[in-house]
Homo-oligomer: A and B are copies of this chain.
Amino acid sequence: MTFAFSAAELVSLLAPRATRGATTATIRGIAALKDAQPGDLSFLGNPKYKPEVASTRASLVLLPADFAGEPPADQLWLLVDNPSAALATLCARLEAALWPRPAAGIHPSAVVDPSARIDPGATIGPLCVIEAEASVGPGSVLQAQVFVGRAARIGADCWLMPGAHVATTCILGDRVRLHAGVVVGADGFGYEFEAGRHVKVPQVGLVEIQDDVEVGANTTFDRARFSRTVVGQGTKIDNLVQIAHNVVIGRHCIICAQVGISGSTTLEDYVILGGQAGVAGHLRMGKGSKADGQTGVRTDVEPGVFLKGTPGLPFQLEQRINVLRPRLPELFRRVDTLATELAELKARA
């Protein structure tokens, strides 16, 4: 983010209870206390970093209202009720500057089928393709080079980054955010083996992504064999994730990068999957269950259970096993020794 704020502008934006010190610097960056350079804003978000305030080189520091002491020369303190909340206010301002909402309308370079229904409040950016009978709701932004297939439906206030792809008949709810290169609605991976070759099983279902879902770059979703692959409201999915056909993901789940979920598996609400975890097909993960990074989920998971390892075991058990694993060579030697000693004892007995 490139930005430039004077100290006065930040005082005006963040409305501190009080200020201490002064700076003539233009604020062009945000950094942790120990990393900050002159020209940066920093903040004390967690009391454990309090000792770092004295030595920070930041030009402006957000501090709790009761923070004691005085800043060095050319450093301004803003004393606020909650430094993290003040930072969030600033970040929201910056985010709006990063992603200014483009004007509504259809860019002349976009290729939009006459039968597509584009809300007048939607933005269809340059070089997008919208096929027949597709629809895009009010306030939605298709930034550039986006593809929306025949009869696909995009709700209101969505944001589709460049190269995002919503294939024929798939459905996005409202406020869905797809990052670059996301593919919604590739064919499910289904074949029948006949006479020595794999014959394609038609994949005629669709993908439905409900309201308030965000999806990271280059993640892929397969359409259902004949019903729906579903991602529930409020679920957040990271980059390079694979969601197979007929998967049903509940509401408010967290799916970290490079996770793979195999066909027909169901995740109930509030499930969390760590990065690179894999879930086998036709399983059910109960509400609030979790799998650690790289875990292999091979069985149904009860609600609230936290799995780890491959195949996944209860977290505490896997942690114990991981402590013991490095001692396996020693264990083998000890058993050898015991066997020898026992044999000697028997010989003597």
- In the complex, what distance in Å separates the CA atom of A329 from the CA atom of B313? 13
A322-343, CB under 8 A of B: which get 1 and which 0? 1011111101101100110110
A8 CB within 8 Å of chain B: no
A142 to chain B, nearest CB (A): 12
Number of copies: 3
Contact partners of A334 in chain B: CB under 8 A: 335, 339
Residue of B nearest to A196 (CB): B252
A10-31 contacts to B, CB under 8 A, are 29-31
Are B320 and A329 in contact, CB atoms less than 8 angstroms apart?
yes
Contact partners of A256 in chain B: CB under 8 A: 189, 262
The answer to whether A341 and B335 touch (CB under 8 A), given A98-B169, A181-B218, is no
Residue of A32, A95, A204, A326 contacting most chain B CB atoms (<10 Å): A204
Are B238 and A240 in contact, CB atoms less than 8 angstroms apart?
no
- In the complex, what distance in Å separates the CA atom of A339 from the CA atom of B262? 43
A118 CB within 8 Å of chain B: no
Contact partners of A34 in chain B: CB under 8 A: none
Contact partners of A168 in chain B: CB under 8 A: 98-99
Stretch at the interface among A51-59, A60-68, A70-78, A274-282: A274-282
A123 CB within 8 Å of chain B: no
Contact partners of A196 in chain B: CB under 8 A: 252
Task: Say which size band chain A's interface belongs to.
Answer: 35 or more
Are B145 and A189 in contact, CB atoms less than 8 angstroms apart?
no
> Could you say which of B31, B99, B206, B329 contacts A227, with CB atoms under 8 Å apart?
B31
The answer to whether A216 and B329 touch (CB under 8 A), given A91-B204, A258-B260, is no
- In the complex, what distance in Å separates the CA atom of A189 from the CA atom of B179? 11
Are B346 and A345 in contact, CB atoms less than 8 angstroms apart?
yes
A148-169 contacts to B, CB under 8 A, are 149, 151, 161-163, 165, 167-169
A109 CB within 8 Å of chain B: yes
Residue of B nearest to A246 (CB): B32
Chain A contacts to B: CB under 8 angstroms = 1-2, 29-32, 35, 87-88, 91-92, 94-95, 98-99, 107, 109, 111, 125-127, 129, 131, 144-145, 147, 149, 151, 161-163, 165, 167-169, 179-181, 183, 186-187, 189, 191, 196-198, 200-206, 212, 214, 216-218, 220, 222, 226-227, 234, 236, 238-240, 242, 244, 252, 254, 256-258, 260, 262, 275-276, 278, 280, 293-294, 296, 309-311, 313, 317, 320-322, 324-329, 331-332, 334-335, 338-339, 341-342, 345-346, 348-349
A-B contact pairs, 29 of them (CB 8 A): A1-B226, A2-B151, A30-B227, A87-B226, A92-B202, A98-B168, A98-B169, A109-B111, A127-B129, A131-B144, A147-B162, A163-B165, A165-B180, A179-B183, A180-B186, A181-B183, A181-B218, A187-B216, A189-B216, A191-B254, A240-B240, A242-B275, A257-B262, A260-B276, A276-B276, A278-B294, A317-B329, A321-B328, A345-B346
